[in-house]
Amino acid sequence: MADNGLRVSAADVFAYLGISAEADDVIERNVERQLKAADRFMQSAVSPDYPRGDPRAQELTVMIAAELYQNRGVLSAKAENAVRRIASDFMLQLRLEGSA
């Protein structure tokens, strides 16, 4: 697993989701991607230097990554709303940061 500068790992997200530690490469790559997006979300929502060692920040990062992973193929209206809310927040953050 690559060092992504986070204090949480794909293994933390796997545990949160109840996925076996021996997940295949595709699942691991997807979770790593979601974890990077969750970290950027936290940087924008909290601070670029948010306290990655704080258990609350770690839990939020894992929760966001898990939500993104679970809803990558949206099926239900509730999941779709959650993904739209996260996507809306991402877009707002990017606009405010001048990246969009």
- In this structure, is residue 3 part of a structural domain? no
The span from the CA of 33 to the CA of 4, in Å, is 10
- In this structure, is residue 69 part of a structural domain? yes
Instruction: Give the model's pLDDT for residue 2.
Output: 39
pTM of the model: 0.70
Instruction: Give the model's pLDDT for residue 7.
Output: 87
Instruction: Give the model's pLDDT for residue 46.
Output: 83
What is the number of structural domains in the chain? 1
Write out the two tokens for 12: 């933390």
Query: Which residue, 87, 94, 47, 98, is CA-closest to 64?
Result: 87
- In this structure, is residue 5 part of a structural domain? no
Q: Collect the ranges in the chain with pLDDT lower than 50.
A: 1-4, 99-100
- In this structure, is residue 2 part of a structural domain? no
Alpha-carbon distance values, 31 to 36, 89, 96 (Å) = 9, 20, 26
- In this structure, is residue 4 part of a structural domain? no
Instruction: Give the model's pLDDT for residue 17.
Output: 92
**Residue 18 is part of which domain span?**
10-97
